[in-house]
């Protein structure tokens, strides 16, 4: 099974501090690191680390960060032939502050804005030989909609992780196979009129809402609301937990697992990822996840 990830490729500038600063406040940082990131690249790495065949689709700048990020993806076993290098444009950058077991992130899109409809047309044939497509919101919204349309027309399942939060057209939601917002993103997508339970029941086995330390929820086609609790972890860095969950969930769905099994596996993988530093650095292997589930 071949997984396509269409999304962002960033360099993460990660600063650690005792806690997240308040508005207008200056704190002394403890450390700074430059780490490969971007929700698209992170999810591609999570998927590849779990043993999947992965093709990354996206853009980087013609700069040192872009070259390092391409090398990192290749080293993880991800196919990068369709990644476009954009001259005179910087590679995407995420400024991340980590403190007190939490994080804040500001993303500068850079070359990620060039993942446009024309780019998708140029890689369309390669995209259509993939078995499942994973997307996020760090590329232009019209591109996300365009990819979903193409995949829907050709019967290719899609997983949309709608972060950062922004509205999604109802017609796009209907075409997506799986939608995986966190609680904040779910409010942006659907408003506050429905409770979480009623919202899940409206989209059985399509809508998956992640809830941090409380785990993840969905509604089965039987009408049962499934709550998969989070695995206890010695938390070091939560930055890549959501991306790990999405990558792991996609791997299991592509492999034919039902949604209950896929979420149990994905939730375990996400918790393991928080026990090491860096969005990609803590992403577990398939064997590590299986061993954690057994224990």
Check if 243 is active-site: yes
- Within 10 angstroms of residue 100's Cβ, the number of other Cβ atoms is 9
Q: Encode pLDDT of 8-54 as tens digits.
A: 999 989 899 999 999 999 999 999 999 899 999 999 999 999 999 99
pTM of the model: 0.91
Instruction: Find the catalytic residue in 12, 63, 237, 243.
Output: 243
- Smallest CA-to-CA distance from 285 within 77, 75, 118, 47 is with 47
pLDDT of residue 85: 98
> How far is the C-alpha of 203 from the C-alpha of 16, rounded, in Å?
38
pLDDT of residue 11: 95
pLDDT of residue 96: 87
Of residues 246 and 102, more confidently modeled: 246
- In DSSP terms, which residues pair with 161 in a beta bridge? 136
Asked if residue 53 lies in contact with residue 134, where contact means CB atoms within 8 angstroms, the answer is: no
pLDDT of residue 143: 98
**pLDDT tier for residue 210 given thresholds of 50, 70 and 90:** very high
């Amino acid at each position: 099974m071949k997984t396509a990830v269409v999304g962002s490729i960033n360099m993460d500038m990660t600063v650690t501090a005792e806690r997240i600063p308040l508005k207008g406040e200056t704190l002394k940082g403890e450390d700074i690191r430059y780490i490969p990131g971007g929700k698209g690249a992170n999810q591609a790495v999570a998927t590849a680390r779990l043993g999947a065949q992965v093709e990354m689709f996206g853009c980087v700048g013609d700069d040192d960060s872009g070259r390092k990020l391409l090398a990192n993806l290749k080293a993880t076993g991800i196919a990068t032939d369709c990644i476009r290098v954009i001259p005179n444009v910087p590679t995407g950058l995420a400024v991340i502050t980590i403190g007190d077991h939490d994080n804040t992130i500001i993303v500068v899109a850079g070359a990620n804005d060039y993942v446009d409809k024309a780019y998708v047309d140029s890689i369309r044939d390669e995209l259509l030989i993939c078995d499942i497509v994973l997307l996020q919101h760090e590329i232009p919204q019209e591109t996300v909609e365009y990819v979903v349309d193409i995949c829907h027309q050709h019967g290719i399942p899609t997983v949309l992780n709608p972060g950062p939060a922004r509205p999604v057209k109802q017609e796009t939601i209907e075409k997506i196979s799986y939608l995986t917002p966190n609680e904040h993103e779910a409010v942006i997508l659907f408003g506050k009129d429905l409770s979480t339970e009623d919202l899940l029941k409206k989209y059985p086995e399509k809508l998956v809402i992640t809830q941090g330390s409380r785990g993840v929820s969905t509604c089965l086609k039987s009408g049962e609301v499934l709550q998969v609790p989070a695995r206890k972890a010695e938390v070091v860095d939560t930055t890549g937990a959501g991306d790990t969950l999405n990558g792991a969930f996609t791997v299991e769905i592509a492999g034919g697992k039902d949604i209950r099994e896929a979420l149990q596996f994905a939730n375990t993988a996400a918790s393991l990822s928080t026990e090491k530093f860096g969005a990609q650095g803590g992403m577990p292997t398939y064997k590590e996840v299986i061993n954690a589930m057994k224990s």
